[in-house]
A and B are shown apart, each in its own frame.
Chain A
Amino acid sequence: MNEKRRGKLEIIADILRSMQKKEGKIKPTHLLYKSNLSHAKLKEYLTMLLEKGMIEEKLVKGRKMYFIKEQGYKFLLEFERIKEFSESFGL
């Protein structure tokens, strides 16, 4: 999973982790920098995460912010478990 190229799940986990590290909320510009993705690709992923209910978009003081939701935390936990399972069992 942690090979040269990041997989789809790893990118999603990276986006959610960026939000988690910022107390569950992040600005789009910050996310673009943290996720290491192109603007178009990031937008694609954010749309998908919004549709799946893992994150939500809110306006804070007139500025767009992304918030991680419970589904997002659950995904991160499951992702970490799979990663640990994979590492421990040499997969």
Chain B
Amino acid sequence: MVFENVPYELTSYLFGPKWFYGFDSIIELIAIVISVLLVYYSYKCFKLTKEDKYLYFSTAFLLITLAFIAKIAGTLAIYKPRIARTQLGSSIHQAFAGLSPYDINAVAWIIYFCLMLLGFMILFLIVSRLTWKNQRVIALLFYFVFLAAWISIIHYQLFYITSFALLALITYSYYQNYKEIRNEKARFVAIAFGMLLISQVFFVFVIYLRVLYVLAELLQLLGFVYLLIPFMLIFRKKPKLQNE
């Protein structure tokens, strides 16, 4: 459902069938937990190795985490009557007293668009091996990402199309990475981003068929679960106290 012409001409969004209200936030909460794990561990790697790539990776997933938090806040603000009456729902309303749930939802979606695209952009920079030395390319990318986020406020589809484009490039890089190292964990990472990529296609068309939102969210969930698997496989390794 798209609520047009909310104050300041911002558009607030609530996709998906009614029976799915709230489940999307649970899915995003799971994505947040997985993203936070990646943020924490890559930051730990940065502290140990002092290599910037880990810091960028950590930043990318931090932005994705914050984007999902914004989306949850925006969605919970508008879910009525059940979720709005919960402690979390009412605390969101109290925190933004003076704003209507639709305003909160609209602002939250803008934040979601910006942060998510920035997160994907940083991931794209990492997998493309672009460094801060490529300032002009990065500046141009920033410009396009902000442009996409801005226009997405009016046409939400542009956000998902841009995400699709960035994720397509990221997935291709991860597929190449898997082909190069033939590692089981790298395969899971490539599949994870592939699933996130397909979910964007469904998101583009949710306005025409609500059930697509359910499929998109489930694919997104699967994508994040597939990101968790290689992470868990790495940590399954036990210390060797004798020779190999």
Contact = CB atoms under 8 A, between A and B. Distances in A.
B193 to A, nearest CB: 10
Interface residues of A, number: 25
Taking chain B's interface residues, is the majority helix, strand, or loop, or is none over half, making it mixed? helix
Contacts of A89: 57, 189, 230
B126 to A, nearest CB: 7
Given A82-B48, A84-B185, A88-B230, A77 B240 contact: yes
A90 interface: yes
A87 B48 CA distance: 17
Contact-residue size bin, chain B (C-beta under 8 Å from the other chain) = 20 to 34
B135 interface: no
Contacts of A24: 242-243
B210 interface: no
A87 B127 CA distance: 11
Contacts of A91: 42, 53-54, 57, 126
Taking chain A's interface residues, is the majority helix, strand, or loop, or is none over half, making it mixed? helix
A54 B237 CA distance: 20
A81 B244 contact: no
B41 interface: yes
B134 interface: no
Given A80-B237, A84-B237, A85-B234, 5 more contacts: A81-B237, A82-B45, A86-B54, A87-B177, A91-B126
